[in-house]
Amino acid sequence: MKCQYCEKPATFHITEVLGADGPQVMHLCEEHARTFLSKESPTPAATIAGALAKQLKLGGKPSAETEQKECPVCGISFFEFRNTGRLGCPYDYTHFESELEPLLVNIHDAPRHTGKRPQRAPVSADSQATLIQLRREMEEAVEREDYEQASEIRDRIRDLEASGNRGSDD
């Protein structure tokens, strides 16, 4: 989707509710979002606009090299993450660490997780990355109709998941 004011991709989608007029949706590029968010607004959206403006000042504009940087495990680029707000795999936190740390500090006031973890979660990001890779290989084997290999991969996935569960219950 393109910015309402120029031809750049819209990375900010802002919805304002203006009483009887209903919601107003704006699709803006980073430059026009800065302009919009820097205006003083007496509406309740001002607090949200302030938070977004703070985020824009914090992050700055990533370089073209950063935008094209891709995860070797899942293949997501930093540009895709910025547009969707979702990472592709646990390894992305390591691969995009320098880009994500300022964002995490801004959102959570700390770069590290300090809360509870699910008991059934894999022990490490490496084991989860291995599971993702095996699932991809299994899907490819099924597409090639190599069901014997797919069942072998399925069994390896089950073994990895079972060993991961035992390790987190200790």
Q: What are the pLDDT digits (tens) for 21-65? A: 777 788 888 888 877 776 644 454 455 555 555 555 545 556 666
Token pair listed for 82: 């910025």
Instruction: Name the token pair of 47.
Output: 């607090």
Q: Mean pLDDT check: name the lowest of 79-88, 109-118, 134-143, 150-159.
A: 109-118
CA separation for the pair 131, 109 (Å, rounded)? 31
Backbone phi and psi for residue 23, each to the nearest 5 degrees, phi listed first: -75, 145
Predicted local distance difference test score (pLDDT) of residue 121: 59
Specify burial of residue 107 (Cβ count, 10 A radius: 0-12, 13-18, 19+).
Answer: exposed
pLDDT number for residue 155: 94
Q: Quick one: what percent of the chain has pLDDT higher than 90?
A: 15
According to DSSP, the residues that pair with 24 across neighbouring strands are: 16
> C-alpha 142: how far from its chain's center?
28
Average pLDDT over residues 115-137: 77
Q: Give the lowest-confidence range in 44-53, 63-72, 136-145, 152-161.
A: 44-53
Q: Which residues on adjacent β-strands are paired with residue 15?
A: 25
> Is residue 102 a contact partner of residue 158, using CB atoms and an 8 Å limit?
no
CA distance 71 to 79: 11
The predicted pLDDT at position 167 comes to 47
Say what percent of the chain tops pLDDT 70: 72
